[in-house]
Structure 1
Amino acid sequence: MSKQAKVVPKFANEAEERVFWETHDSTEYLDWSKARTSVLPNLKPTTRTISLRLPQHLLDSLKAAANARDVPYQSLIKVWLQEKLRSH
């Protein structure tokens, strides 16, 4: 960042801060080139319900595999999808 960053003001509450950032450019206040990635393990990911049609034999196999692992079959599907995406 070539110019001096502005000082981020103190906010009385989250609503005030939200209004501020909706109307100001954060690059005038923060040097994003120095930003680091951080992991927030306690945050729950946003989920969305979907409808997925599966052949009955596949659903039966998934339920059997989940039962053998003592987990809900929906959770097993999510784990397997995530594993497959990571390996891809």
Structure 2
Amino acid sequence: MSKLKKTPDFKNEAEEREFWESHDSADYVDWSQAQRASFPKLKPSTKTISLRLPEALLDRIKIEANKRDMPYQSLIKVWLADDVDQNRRTE
């Protein structure tokens, strides 16, 4: 394997992100030496959004969530994720 390039020092995470978006990590990392890592307690980051729904729709969602014994916001997230996954498979 050819000699690896030295990874630059970054001032901040944004600078590092910009660098890796335009450079191939294979030039800097010997991936043949990589080992699989597991982060079981790592939670995905979330972002709060504002979503306006008709009250009747929100009431129906809350009824469905209650039937499943789960918070209605969690049910909305499940439905959205399922729909996105299904659309991705049909493309």
TM-score bracket, shorter-length normalisation: 0.5 to 0.7
Residue matched to 1:22: 10
Q: Deviations over 1:6-38 (max 9, x none)?
A: 688xxxxxxxxxxx6417976553146997997
TM-score under structure 2 length normalisation: 0.61
Residue matched to 2:76: 77
User: How many percent of aligned residue pairs carry the same amino acid?
Assistant: 49
**Higher relative contact order (Cα pairs below 8 Å, separated by 6+ residues):** 1
Q: Using a 3 Å threshold, how does the CA distance of structure 1 residues 64 and 32 change in structure 2: closer, same or farther?
A: same
5+ unaligned residues in a row in structure 1: which ranges? 9-19
Q: What is the alpha-carbon distance in structure 2 between the residues aligned to residue 83 and residue 58 of structure 1?
A: 19
Matched, 1:46 2:40: no
Q: Using a 3 Å threshold, how does the CA distance of structure 1 residues 84 and 32 change in structure 2: closer, same or farther?
A: same
- Give the structure with higher Rg (CA): 1
TM-score under structure 1 length normalisation: 0.63
5+ unaligned residues in a row in structure 2: which ranges? 20-24
